[in-house]
Amino acid sequence: MLTRRKLLRSAFAISATAALERAFGAPHPAIHIRVVPGTNVTAIPQNFVGLGYEMSSVAQPALLTSRNAPNIQLVRNLGREGVIRVGGIVADFTSYSDTGTATAEPKKTLITRACLQLLRGFLDAVGWTAIWSVNFGKGSIEQALIEVRAVKEALGDRLLAIELGNEVENYGRGAEPLRKPPYTFAEFRAEYNRWRSAILAADPRLSFAAPDTAGSVEWVEQMAADAHGDVQLLTTHYYRGGQKQATLDQLMSPDPELIAKLERLRRASMRSGVPWRMCETNSFFGGGRPGLSDTFAAALWTLDYMLLLAQSGCAGVNIETGFNQLGFLSSYSPIRNDNAGQCTAGASYYGMLAFAIARGTNTGVFPLHSGPAPKEASFYALGQASAIKCVVLINRTLDQPIRISLLDVPLSNASSIRLAAPSPESKVDITLGGARIDAGGKWSLAEAEPVTHEVLLPPCSAMIVHSRP
């Protein structure tokens, strides 16, 4: 029976599609997406979402504290569980003192017991845990024992794992290497064993994350093959490219090397039985590229990248944010903060929030097969192959609207929200479901569209389609 409500919803969907067609012109024939029989659904861990901070951020007294309401709200939006990784290059230039004066300088950071207590209050307020990086580059085992004891006493069950150092395969490189070159995996493993044994002798309950490479898959594979219970979480980093060579095309196009890298990490994890986490990552290293990393293009890249990682069996991702190792606020920061700890949502935060909304209570993700489609288009399903709860459609082309048929996707009573902005270069006027994030870090859905059998996705935009009971 055609009720008034159904008629109005149908009219709204037709008018929305018509308006888009008038704005962008009639697109090519619809792309049909579907579930491939026998598709494996990859589970998404509850604490998949994460943020990464340089160690100096913990020494900023107003940032990671239970009194920073906007920051707490922004983190809570991303999930009831999650992981904050505290480390970065600054970790290898950090010292600890029980009663000293905290200092947040890139090459001379000092963490105190008071800093750790503030961090614990923040973690309690958001319900997340932390990975803590110890100064393995320039520190000593004796210093590490004092620091780890203080970290464990302060963070308690909020401490997920200890990391030894940062980007360790680079220790033998650069103008001022941290180890005599060449620094091999065997040398690292021997040092790791000594430090880990000493730390565990003081507290056998601790878990360890390693090897924390800048990008070396080989070191992760070797760590996995030689795990022997010595590591509970495999970790590595990824950036789309360097800041100086960054281009818009890199954000809007797939990375040809990433899929192969993710497959190798997945295999290493499966063979060893040790989960792996992308514990430091973002668009372009060096703090990101202004005018790219802080734009809507980065929001779309972030959404697509997080879904790809989840689909590839990654146990979690820590999107880097805040002040970097050079002492300035990284342009790629999803949560932007100043020296006083004031926090606002950056452009890429909208991609993280879109992931969180799509993920919802869904515990699995898998790809959707499509007919011929632009390489910049991505289609994901969340839920189970026989009971899809959500579909995420991403169009990263700059000028090509895409019509997508949902006839072969089992959705019922579906509605959608859009991730959109005036252009890929937009830094403001970014909306999710027609709404922006307010100054207090809150977001509320403003616009949802009913969905029938077909949707139109404008260039440089994304859509989350939810199936309702």
Give the integer Cα–Cα distance in Å for 347 and 354: 12
Encode 13-30 in three state secondary structure.
HHHHHHHHHHHHCCCCCC
State the pLDDT at residue 452.
86
pTM of the model: 0.94
Q: How many CB atoms lie within 10 A of CB 208?
A: 20
Mean pLDDT value across the chain: 93
CB 395 within 8 A of CB 462: yes
State the pLDDT at residue 27.
62
State the pLDDT at residue 14.
44
Question: Which residues are bridge partners to 369 per DSSP?
Answer: 34
State the pLDDT at residue 18.
57
Q: How many CB atoms lie within 10 A of CB 194?
A: 11
Alpha helices, H only, 158-275: 185-202, 217-225, 248-252, 258-272
Structural domains present in the chain: 22-42+362-414+451-466 (2.60.40.1180), 45-359 (3.20.20.80)
Whether pLDDT at 165 is above 70: yes
Confidence of residue 29 (pLDDT cuts 50, 70, 90): confident
Q: Using one digit for the tens of pLDDT, what is the confidence trace for 416-431?
A: 999 999 999 999 999 9
* Mean pLDDT of the region 383-411: 93
Examine residue 27 and say whether the peptide bond preceding it is cis (omega within 30 degrees of 0).
no
Comparing C-alpha atoms, which of 27, 46, 126, 1 is closest to residue 455? 27
Whether pLDDT at 325 is above 60: yes
Scored b (16 or more CB within 10 A) or e, 246-283 reads beeebbbbebeeeeebbeebeebbeebebbbbbbbbbb
Whether pLDDT at 6 is above 60: no
